[in-house]
Amino acid sequence: MKRLVLAGGGHAHLDVLKTLAAGRWPGVEVVLVTPYPRQIYSGMVPGWMAGHYSLEQCAAALVPLARAAGVRFVEAAVSAVDAGRREIRTDRGERLAYDVLSLAVGAGLDVSELAGGARLLPVRPLESFVAGWSELLASAPSGLRLAVVGGGAGGVELTLAARHRLQALGGGSVTLIAGGGLLPGHGAAVVHRVEAALAAAGVEVVPGFAAGVAEGLQVTGSGRLIAVDAVLAATGVRPPAWLTTSGLALAADGFVAVGDGQRSISHAEVFAGGDVASRVDAPHGKSGVYAVRAGPVLSDNLRRTLAGEPLRPYRPQRRTLYLLATGPRRAIVSWGGFAAEGAWAWRWKDRIDRRFMRQYHVPPA
């Protein structure tokens, strides 16, 4: 019997679980190690913050999915990988040997510079973020002063969702601090539409990097103080610290270096998909789209590797479609340099997201 360890309940592993639920792989024991019994789908989180979805609608329940797939579920976080010994360790002190390992643990955030007097809500891990956002709304529903740090797609969506929700609850303010500019990597027409949406929502966009101080934040360069009650951090991603001692080859950005077929370039029995992986042969940004697309490739290549078959090649797409939720039930489309906007774009996004989540719903036994 060979053992496949799936580390992390990330998007790519949802597909592996779905595939196994449709048909088990003979002679293979599969174990899923992940710290939470559900996987929150980030694409729907801004809609949840804005009040359009319940949290249940935005999460895939991993335990029933694992049960349907015949996979042992271990509720723990991987704290170390020893690629030389083919073993992982968990934060509960468990050691687990593997024949094949697949990583979909996502990425973390470095928010140490933002710590100060204001409450800090990093957007990762999403479980802590959703708990923090719920508490924030419950404790101070009106007049809340928020800052969002990070001008990427996630930061923009969080800003507009938070603003929409605060307005619905009777007021408050949201400031967006975009050190690296607004939506780097997106076309000028998209940036223009996002700027207009932020202005229409009454959000001030502050250029520059922010550091945490007693009052809230201070913008480096100008020295401007921004007094806030809470800071939502959607800054750049960083790799899990334990990768550095794993023995796995890492890319320049510190994430697991993978090549064609999402296989580690140093260890043939290790695979990775989603934010934790960096394709060294075909670099691309880190986004949910790539994490989702890696799923069927991982499923196929894990099965092939365990069966001693050659890998299926996979070249990630160069362009990705973004549908950016703008608070009310509207969205901005970003595709290459193309931009469009409207309620129809929200309905499109809503259909895609709900269809994605439906695939992983296992009715109660």
Ligand X SMILES: Cc1cc2nc3c(=O)[nH]c(=O)nc-3n(C[C@H](O)[C@H](O)[C@H](O)COP(=O)(O)OP(=O)(O)OC[C@H]3O[C@@H](n4cnc5c(N)ncnc54)[C@H](O)[C@@H]3O)c2cc1C
Q: Which residues bind ligand X (CB under 6 A)?
A: 7-12, 33-36, 39, 42-43, 45-46, 77-78, 104-106, 123, 125, 154, 157-158, 234, 240, 274-276, 286-289, 291
Of residues 268, 294, 270, 296, the one with CA closest to residue 282 = 294
Select 36 or 335, whichever has its Cβ closest to ligand X.
36
- To 10 degrees, the CA torsion angle through 178, 183, 189, 192? -20
Answer yes or no: are the C-beta atoms of 148 and 316 closer than 8 Å: no
Measured in whole angstroms, the distance separating CA 85 from the mean position of its chain's CA atoms is 29
Give the closest residue to 261 by CA, choosing from 297, 211, 234: 297
Residue 103 CB, nearest approach to ligand X (Å): 8
Given the complex with ligand X, which of 218 and 287 has the nearer CB atom? 287
**Cβ closest to ligand X, residue 172 vs residue 274:** 274
Pairing relation of β-strands 72-75 and 59-61? unpaired
Number of residue whose CB is nearest ligand X? 274
- Distance in Å, CB of 114 to ligand X, minimum: 15
User: Which pair of tokens denotes residue 46?
Assistant: 């801004």
Q: Which is nearer to ligand X, 77 or 218 (CB)?
A: 77
Report how far residue 57's alpha carbon sits from residue 305's, in angstroms, rounded to the nearest whole number: 34
Rounded (5°) CA angle 79-35-32: 85
Q: How far is the CB of 59 from ligand X (least distance, A)?
A: 10
Per the document, the length of the chain is: 365
Nearest CB to ligand X, comparing residues 21 and 78: 78
- β-bridge mates for residue 211, sequence order: 218
Cα distance between residue 359 and residue 230, in whole Å: 36
**108 φ, ψ to 5°?**
-105, -175
Q: How far apart are CA 11 and CA 13, in angstroms?
A: 5
Question: Least CB distance from residue 137 to ligand X, whole Å?
Answer: 16
In whole angstroms, the minimum distance from the beta carbon of 221 to ligand X comes to 26
3-class SS of residue 194 = helix
Least Cβ distance, residue 158 to ligand X (angstroms): 5
Q: How far is the CB of 309 from ligand X (least distance, A)?
A: 25
| Smallest distance, ligand X to C-beta of residue 153, A | 6
Is the CB of 125 or the CB of 207 nearer to ligand X? 125
